[in-house]
Structure 1
Amino acid sequence: MSNEIEIGRGKRGRRAYSFDDIAVVPSRRTRDPEEVSVSWQIDAYQVELPVLAAPMDSVMSPATAIGLGQLGGVGVLDLEGLWTRYEDPEPLLAEIAELPVDGATGRMQELYSAPIIPELITGRLKEIRAAGVTVAGALSPQRTQEHWRTVVDAGVDLFVIRGTTVSAEHVSGNAEPLNLKRFIYELDVPVVVGGASTYTAALHLMRTGAAGVLVGFGGGAAHTTRQTLGIHAPMASAVADVAAARRDYLDESGGRYVHVIADGGVGRSGDLVKAIGCGADAVMLGAALARASEAPGRGWHWGPEAHHPHLPRGERVRVGTVGTLEEILLGPGTRADGTLNLFGALRRAMATTGYSDLKEFQRVEVVVSPYSPR
């Protein structure tokens, strides 16, 4: 049965769903939350919490990457952010938090026009490594050719190539594009790449040898991609489509498993639950962690799209501060709005629906929700 609808006589479109449109359904069995496992393994790295922090300056500094690692997640540092452009970016982060709305974009463009300093990439990653946690850093596809050697030599454990969208078949008449398949093959570290939002795009990324695929396209709280480019991928459908690509690639490759990581639209604990229920192995959190008292953004949140030098398609948004990083991830919760104790909520949802681990929970029954979420 097709779920396409007619937009007009000359165009049809597939109905797609966001996390707000769906809900998970209890089964005949329940469990104790204490007996539920939310641990996750990618390549050789066992991770207690299935979370990567988004590589955004409002979310991750070396200190918060270390803090997240000590709590059981993986912090991904933006290697094109202020931490690799300035020796001491703290005054600049404080300035961004105080900028007036009208002048914020222009001033951020000025701050991020400073050159990336390779020695700072090395220093920041070595600082994280010295704390004994998993070391992860992110570059855009455009900067990967220039800086990947510095990143690998600094001892990164996970290499993240993250853009608004990343394809395995970028076409350019001006410069040789990054050959993802050759690049990943030559590296000795696992690579997570994305975003992708369709079955076909994700399948092609999996064939490059990536260890994980980020799912999302302009779905984050700080994006304005839908308004500026007219492009949007509702996350529930996108995750389910990419999970189907993972299943088919598993058969095609003779057993190679590629991790699906939901990157966008996961602002509260209910979104996290539904992302895993739609087939994600883990989530990448941005706004949810920007609400931490330790977050560098000081209650504000922005991504690299907000200071693009030619076409900004993001903005600095006020997310506020709700608690410490530990309270946001592990509780205790003092609010009932899904912003605290995210993984306590995931455990509770898994226990309520009768599942004991993440792989099992990916099979949970999901319905299209007939009401507007509160």
Structure 2
Amino acid sequence: MHSQIEIGLSKRGQRAYALDDVAVVPSRRTRDPLDVSLTWQIDAYTLDIPVLGAPMDSVMSPATAIELGRLGGLGVLNLEGLWTRYEDPRPVLAEIAELRGGRSDPATIARLQDLYEAPIRAELIASRLAEIRRAGVTVAGSLTPQRTQDFYRTVVDAGVDIFVIRGTTVSAEHVSSGTEPLNLKQFIYELDVPVIVGGAAGYTPALHLMRTGAAGVLVGFGGGASSTTRRALGIHAPMATAIADVAAARKDYLDESGGRYVHVIADGGLGTSGDIVKAIAMGADAVMLGSTLARAEEAPGGGWHWGPEAHHAELPRGERVHLDVVGPMREVLYGPARHSDGSSNLMGALRRTMATTGYSDLKEFQRCEVVVAPAPTAG
């Protein structure tokens, strides 16, 4: 049972923990890092590492999705982004990188909104996914719930292997008096490909998403480096608690469904290798990375990072932020690291922590001991 804290005489709330608030505890056994497996499987697809590239224009292009696939992960292309609005989006990406305004500069936000007003073109969705498929890697693309009805047939016909429905928050029961909402359960049932859906940030909404037939559930709400959802909407879900709650829903659904396992994928607030380690320790099967991969030399943002919330037509709640470029994507994932801040050799760090705590695979590591130990603040 969650403990409730009295906020005031008329309101109580659950104490929730961010990833910075928890730490992994060493155990009595250690292993050789070479004996640790990071292999992850979703549906029929086996991946060498539990990493998905976030469908953000600053992170994933067809080329970087291919590169991540060759490195053992899964690149997810944003099918509502610049690559499906422009025949050649490179000049647009260069312009975004050269915008001079600060994080919340109105002129910068207005220009982003203008650039994203170009219509999404079905033929470009098909050609981008075909480009990834020709490279021989697993193909994944993402749409928001609002656009899924319009373009899902194009996506499926293009030969996508894994379909992602990703929004700030996604529910299995959306109520609208003005439009016909997406019936997730019927939609997923009728598709021939596995679907990952989210975000969700609690036990009950995640359990309902699992009951739709989703193969995976994304955990997170406004936790990314470029998001200002907490300031704009007052909504926030500390990731350590959110992951643990959704992992509990996964366990209960496994019993309820008679053995159907739904993968839990942490999405947001994963800025360092330590965050990735703790997300897996809290119960995630894999992680969806944005800012950490945006630091790679190949990232299309050129050192800048922004999400779809940053150019929302009516209520922008994200920022374009500048990140230090770490090195090639291979170095970001596998090293050797030239940085001591957890920004490179992400998988080496995960492997070493698992070895230090005595676990040989990801499922075992989810059972590791953790403590509440908030990170010290700089004095």
- State the TM-score, normalized to the length of structure 2: 0.98
Deviations 1:192-234 (A, max 9, x none): 0000000000000000000000000000001000000000000
CA contact (8 A) 1:20 1:373 kept: no
Find the counterpart in structure 2 of residue 190 from structure 1. 194
Contact 2:165 2:195 in 1 (8 A): yes
Q: Which residue does the alignment assign to 1:357?
A: 361
Offset at residue 104 of structure 1 (A):
1.5
Counterpart secondary structure, 2:136: coil
Match of 1:143 in 2: 147
1:160 matches 2:148: no
Report the equivalent of 1:13: 13
Instruction: Give the residue type in structure 2 aligned to 1:340.
Output: S
Tell me the CA shift for residue 3 of structure 1: 1.9
* Whole-Å separation in 1 of the counterparts to 2:377 and 2:91: 39
Q: Decide which of 258, 264, 272 is 2:262's aligned counterpart.
A: 258
Q: How does 1:325-340 map to 2 (within 5 A)?
A: 325-340=329-344
Unpaired segments ≥5 residues, structure 1: none
> Could you tell me how far 1:90 is from its partner in structure 2?
0.2
1:168, 1:205 within 8 Å by CA — same for their partners in 2?
yes
Asked if 1 retains the 8 angstrom alpha-carbon contact of 2:59 and 2:290, the reply is yes
Instruction: Tell me, in whole angstroms, the C-alpha distance in 2 between the residues paired with 1:2 and 1:63.
Output: 45
SS in 1 for 2:218: strand
The residue aligned with 1:48 is: 48
Q: Which moved more, 1:102-111 or 1:223-232?
A: 102-111
Give aligned-pair identity as a percent: 75
Per the alignment, residue 66 of structure 1 pairs with: 66
Contact 2:24 2:370 in 1 (8 A): yes
Q: Which one-letter code corresponds to 2:161 in the other structure?
A: D
In 2: Cα distance, 1:146 partner to 1:2 partner? 41
- 1:203 corresponds to which of 195, 204, 207: 207
SS of 1:52 mapped into structure 2:
strand
Q: Deviations over 1:83-141 (max 9, x none)?
A: 00000000000100010223211101000011000000000000000000000000000
Distance in 2 (alpha carbons) for counterparts of 1:241 and 1:318: 32
Note closer, same or farther for the CA distance 1:278–1:94 as it changes in structure 2 (3 Å cut). same
DSSP 3-state at the match of 1:77:
strand
SS in 2 for 1:169: coil
Contact 2:20/2:374 (<8 A) preserved: no
Matched, 1:127 2:140: no
CA contact (8 A) 2:113 2:312 kept: yes
Could you say what secondary structure the match of 1:184 adopts?
helix
Counterpart for residue 87 of structure 2: 87
Correspondence for 2:279: 275
With over 3 angstroms needed to count, the CA separation of the structure-2 counterparts of 1:323 and 1:216, relative to structure 1, is: same
Alignment check: 8 A CA contact 1:299 1:319 kept: yes
1:307 to 311, 314, 321: 311
Give 1:115's aligned residue.
119
SS of equivalent residue, structure 1 residue 142:
helix
Structure 2 letter corresponding to 1:297: G
Instruction: Give the TM-score, by structure 1 length.
Output: 0.99
Q: Distance in 1 between matches of 2:79 and 2:179?
A: 22
Q: Could you say what secondary structure the match of 1:248 adopts?
A: helix
Q: Deviations over 1:13-48 (max 9, x none)?
A: 100000000000000000000000001000000000
Report what 1:297 is aligned to: 301
- For structure 2, the 5+ residue unaligned runs are none
- Letter paired with 2:72: G
SS at match of 2:265: strand
Identify which of 167, 170, 177 aligns with 1:173: 177
Instruction: Please list the CA deviations of residues 289-318 of structure 1 after superposition, one character each: whole Å capped at 9, or x if unmatched.
Output: 000011000000001000000000101011
Query: Could you say which residue in structure 2 is the equivalent of 1:75?
Result: 75
- Partner of residue 322, structure 2: 318
Q: State the distance in 2 between where 1:373 and 1:26 align.
A: 23
Give the secondary structure class of the aligned counterpart of 1:159: strand
Q: Distance in 2 between matches of 1:334 and 1:170?
A: 46
1:212-270 deviation per Cα after TM superposition (whole angstroms, max 9, x unaligned):
00000000001000000000000000000000000000000000000000000111000
Change (3 A) 1:88 1:228: same
Q: Which residue in the other structure is 2:39 paired with?
A: 39
Indicate whether 1:23 and 2:23 are aligned.
yes
3-state DSSP of counterpart to 1:27: coil
Q: Which amino acid in the other structure matches residue 326 of structure 2?
A: V
The letter for the 2-side match of 1:279 is G
Which stretches of structure 1, 4 residues or more, deviate above 3 A after TM superposition? Answer: none
**Cα gap change, 1:186 to 1:2, in 2 (>3 Å):** closer
How big is the shift at 1:373? 6.1
CA distance in 1, matches of 2:2, 2:220: 23
Pick the aligned partner of 1:348 from 343, 346, 352.
352
Q: Specify whether residues 182 and 262 from structure 1 end up closer, same or farther in structure 2 by C-alpha distance, changes over 3 A only.
A: same
Whether contact under 8 Å (2:293, 2:299) holds in the other structure is yes
Distance 1:12 1:62, change over 3 A: same
Alpha-carbon deviation of 1:348? 0.2
Q: Counterparts of 1:263 and 1:280 in 2: how far apart (Å)? A: 10
Q: Note closer, same or farther for the CA distance 1:267–1:370 as it changes in structure 2 (3 Å cut).
A: closer
